[in-house]
Structure 1
Amino acid sequence: MRRALCPVENLYVAQRSRAFLSCALRGNVDPSVLAEAFDALTTEHPTLRSRIVPAEGGHALELLPEDERPRLIRREGGDEAYIEELNVPLPVGGPLSRAALVTTGPDTHLLTVTIDHTVTDGHSAITFMNALWDRYGELVATVPGQTPPAPVAEAEWPRPVSELLPAADPEETEKYLLRRVEETGAHPVELLAFDTPRDRPAGSEDPSEHRIEVRRLVLGAEETTRLRSAARDAGVSVHGLVAAALMTAARARLDGDGPRVLGCMSPVDLRARLTPPVSPSVMVASVTSHLQAVPVGGETDPLDLAREISTRLRESVERGDHFHEMRIMPRVPAHPALQMGSVIVTNMGATAAPRFPEGVEATDVRLVPARESYFPQAGRSPVMACVVSFDNRLAVELPHHTACFTPQYMRAFRDDVRTALLAFTQDAAPAPASAG
Structure 2
Amino acid sequence: MTDGSGGPERALCPAEALYVGQRSRAVLSCALRGNIDTQALSAAFDAITAAHPTLRSRIAPGGPSGYVLRLLTEEERPRLLTRTGDLTDAYAAELNAPLPVGGPLTRAVLVSGPEGDDHLFVLVVDHTITDGHSSITLHNSIWDSYRNLVSGGDRAADSTREGEDTAWPRPVSELLPHADEADTAKYLEQRVERAAARQVSLVPYDVPRPTAEQPAAEGHIEARRLVLSLEETALLRRTARRAGVSVHGLVSAAVVRAAGLRVPGGDDAPRVLGCLSPVDLRSRLTPPLPASVMVAAVATHLQTVEISPDTDADTDPLTLARTLHTRLKDAIDNGDHVQELRIMPEIPRHPTLQLSTVIVTNMGVVPGPRLPDDLRATDVRLVPARENYFPQAGRSPVMACVVSFEGRLAVEFPHFTSCFSASFMGAFRDDVRDNLLAFTADAEPETAAVPTSGAGAS
TM-score range, shorter chain: over 0.9
From 15, 18, 43, the counterpart of 1:8: 15
Establish whether residue 224 from structure 1 lines up as the match of residue 239 from structure 2: no
Q: Which residue of 2 aligns with 1:126?
A: 136
CA contact (8 A) 2:274 2:303 kept: yes
Residue 232 of structure 1 aligns to a residue in which SS? helix
Secondary structure of the corresponding residue to residue 68 of structure 1: coil
**Equivalent residue in structure 2 for 1:48, among 42, 55, 68:** 55
Structure 1 residues 46, 146: closer, same or farther in 2, change over 3 A?
closer
Residue of structure 2 in register with 1:99 after alignment: 108
Alignment match, 2:147: 137
| Aligned position for 2:417 | 402
SS of the equivalent of 1:230 reads helix
Q: What's the TM-score, normalizing by structure 2?
A: 0.91
Aligned mates of 2:329, 2:378 — CA distance in 1 = 35
Render the CA deviation track for 1:302-337: whole Å, top value 9, x for unaligned. 111100000000000000000000100011111101
1:317-358 deviation digits (Å, cap 9, x = unpaired): 000000000100011111101111100001100111111111
Runs of 5+ unmatched residues, structure 2: 1-7, 451-458
Q: Deviations over 1:114-153 (max 9, x none)?
A: 0000000000000000100000000000079999999743
The normalised TM-score by structure 1 is: 0.96
Match of 2:255 among 241, 246, 251: 246
Contact 1:192 1:253 in 2 (8 A): yes
Mapped partners of 2:387, 2:278: distance in 1 = 20
Alpha-carbon offset, residue 262 of structure 1: 0.2
Secondary structure in 1 matching 2:225 = strand
Supply the distance in 2 between the matched residues of 1:98 and 1:146 (Cα, whole angstroms). Answer: 22
In the alignment, which of 80, 91, 101 is matched to residue 72 of structure 1? 80
- Deviations 1:17-44, CA, capped at 9 Å, x for gaps: 0000000000001111100000000010
Say which is worse superposed, 367-376 or 295-304, in terms of deviation. Answer: 295-304
Question: More deviation in 58-67 or 298-307?
Answer: 298-307
What is the RMSD of the two structures over their aligned residues, measured on CA atoms? 1.9
Secondary structure at the aligned position of 1:26 is classed as strand
Deviations 1:199-224, CA, capped at 9 Å, x for gaps: 65357445xx3100000000010000
Question: In structure 2, what is the equivalent of residue 233 of structure 1?
Answer: 242
Quick check: 1:90 aligned with 2:105?
Answer: no
CA distance in 2, matches of 1:145, 1:85: 27
**Is 1:165–1:274's contact at 8 Å kept on the other side of the alignment?**
yes
- Distance in 1 (CA, whole Å) between partners of 2:103 and 2:156 is 37
Question: 1 CA distance for matches of 2:278 and 2:449?
Answer: 34
Give 1:188 shift: 1.1
Q: CA contact under 8 A between 2:201 and 2:263: conserved in structure 1? A: no
CA offset digits 1:226-259 (Å, max 9, x no partner): 0000111111110010000000000011345652
Secondary structure in structure 2 of the residue aligned to 1:135:
helix
**In the alignment, is residue 273 of structure 1 matched against residue 296 of structure 2?**
no
Task: Sort the Cα spacing of 1:143 and 1:272 in 2 relative to 1 into closer, same or farther, 3 A.
Answer: closer
Paired residue for 2:359? 344
**1:114 corresponding residue in structure 2:** 124
Conserved? CA contact 2:47–2:158, under 8 Å? no
Match of 2:35 among 28, 38, 51: 28
2:43–2:155 contact (8 Å) kept in structure 1: no
For the pair 1:417 / 2:432, whether they are aligned, the reply is: yes
Shift in CA distance, 417/24, structure 1 to aligned 2, threshold 3 Å: same
Distance 2:113 2:105 in 1: 25
Report SS of the residue matched to 2:263: coil
Question: Equivalent pairs: percent with the same residue?
Answer: 59
Report how many residues are paired: 433
Q: Distance in 1 between matches of 2:28 and 2:368?
A: 11
Amino acid aligned to 2:130: T
AA of the residue aligned to 1:23: C
